[in-house]
Amino acid sequence: MPVHAFIFPGQGSQAVGMGRELAAAFAVAREVFQEVDDTLNQKLSRLMFDGPGEELVLTENTQPALMAHSLAVLRVLQQEGGLTLRQRALVVSGHSLGEYTALAAAGAFSIATASRLLKLRGQAMQKAVPTGLGAMAALLGADLEQAKAICAEAAPVPETTQTEIVQLANDNGGGQLVISGHRTAIERAIEIARTMGIRRAMLLPVSAPFHCALMAPAANAMAEALENNPPGEPIVPLVANVSAKRESDPARIRDLLVQQVTATVRWRECVEAMTAMGVDSFVELGAGKVLMGLIRRIAPDASAMAAGTPADIEAVLKSL
């Protein structure tokens, strides 16, 4: 029997039209979208289905939208296929905001609580750094040690005794690493990467420098929010971005969610940890198929499938 992990995407997987087919086909999916709309007092589902894209990509909208889509898919799988995480999943995991989705899927947060937390998280991350001060860049073809060396070399400000923040934001696996920090330091890092022969180094079209120390104000906001809305114990363990370990203790999970705002998303290590636990089948629920692509590079011997549309769901249920 395959050993499954259910995984949930992060920012970058969104697209106008997400969830539209699902809502048209399944009443239980419409119920999820309506609950999120009502909780946030916002027609988020309309924005997901019809755009405009420039509003959907705002962090405060993207984060709860991706969660809503993923949980709608899960509800359909539960209704149509009788799938239960307790019986079918060894662990759950998610990329950045996907960690909240994973915890909601595993019963540690209600849909309403996760919606409010992600709306706040998006707003706090956007407000943490003035527009234009921060940036993120992808280093394609680099390994972890090269990325760390690039960050260390780029941090000192030329001809001064000062340093700027530039740190590893995502270790996505397959030679895909992302750095984050002050824009000027990120620009220096790109030039350093090119001199080192890194295959490709490029700025990313993001609105803020996520997962670095510049996000400290957002981490403080989430610490307060999570103090007032703590997670419960998940019905299956979470493999957490910050620790790349299996976590079940609610207090520990709460602390890790706060740390995650400024810390590296250790996705490669999370996947490696899950395969070491015996996982040989990864099921991505929600928009896009970004994580499925990463899984195939990190753990090529494992199976990976994604469900975001009615057709996907039918294929996944047949496979499971």
Told to judge if 69 belongs to the known catalytic residues of this protein, a careful annotator would answer no
Distance separating alpha carbons of residues 214 and 197, to the nearest angstrom: 28
Task: Return the bridge partners of 138, or none.
Answer: 178, 202
Distance separating alpha carbons of residues 289 and 305, to the nearest angstrom: 8
Are 60 and 123 within 8 A, CB to CB?
yes
- What's the distance, CA 225 to chain centroid? 19
As a residue count, the chain comes to: 320
> Which residues lie closer than 8 Å to 175 by C-beta, 6 or more apart?
140, 141, 142, 143, 199, 297
Q: Where are the alpha helices (DSSP H) in the chain?
A: 20-25, 27-40, 44-50, 53-56, 59-81, 85-88, 98-105, 111-127, 144-154, 183-195, 216-228, 250-260, 267-276, 290-298, 310-319
Are 166 and 151 within 8 A, CB to CB?
yes
Distance separating alpha carbons of residues 236 and 312, to the nearest angstrom: 24
Q: 201-228 as b/e, with b when 16 or more CB fall inside 10 Å?
A: beebebbbbbbbebbeebbebbeebbee
Told to judge if 211 belongs to the known catalytic residues of this protein, a careful annotator would answer yes
The catalytic position among 69, 211, 243, 281 is 211
Q: Which of 91, 92, 98, 94 is nearest to 118 (CA)?
A: 98
End-to-end CA distance of the chain: 10
The catalytic position among 96, 115, 180, 281 is 96
Distance separating alpha carbons of residues 4 and 91, to the nearest angstrom: 7
- Annotated active-site positions, please? 96, 211
